[in-house]
Chain A
Amino acid sequence: SAVISQKPSRDICQRGTSLTIQCQVDSQVTMMFWYRQQPGQSLTLIATANQGSEATYESGFVIDKFPISRPNLTFSTLTVSNMSPEDSSIYLCSVRLGYEQYFGPGTRLTVT
Chain B
Amino acid sequence: SQQGEEDPQALSIQEGENATMNCSYKTSINNLQWYRQNSGRGLVHLILIRSNEREKHSGRLRVTLDTSKKSSSLLITASRAADTASYFCVPSETSYDKVIFGPGTSLSVIP
Contacts and interface: CB of A to CB of B under 8 A. Distances in A.
Interface stretch (B12-20, B65-73, B76-84, B91-99): B91-99
Query: Do most interface residues of chain A lie in helix, strand or loop, or is the interface mixed?
Result: strand
B72 to A, nearest CB: 15
Report which residue of A43, A45, A92 has the largest number of chain B beta carbons within 10 angstroms of its beta carbon.
Answer: A43
Contact of B45 (A45, A48, A101): A101
A44 B31 CA distance: 21
B33 interface: yes
B30 interface: yes
Interface residues of A, number: 21
A92 B90 CA distance: 17
A103 B103 CA distance: 18
A104 B42 CA distance: 6
A106 B103 contact: no
Interface in A18-48: 31, 33, 35, 42-45, 48
A48 B98 CA distance: 8
A105 to B, nearest CB: 4
Contact of B101 (A42, A98, A105, A108): A42
B48 A103 contact: no
Contacts of B25: none
Interface of A: 31, 33, 35, 42-45, 48, 92, 94, 96, 98-106, 108
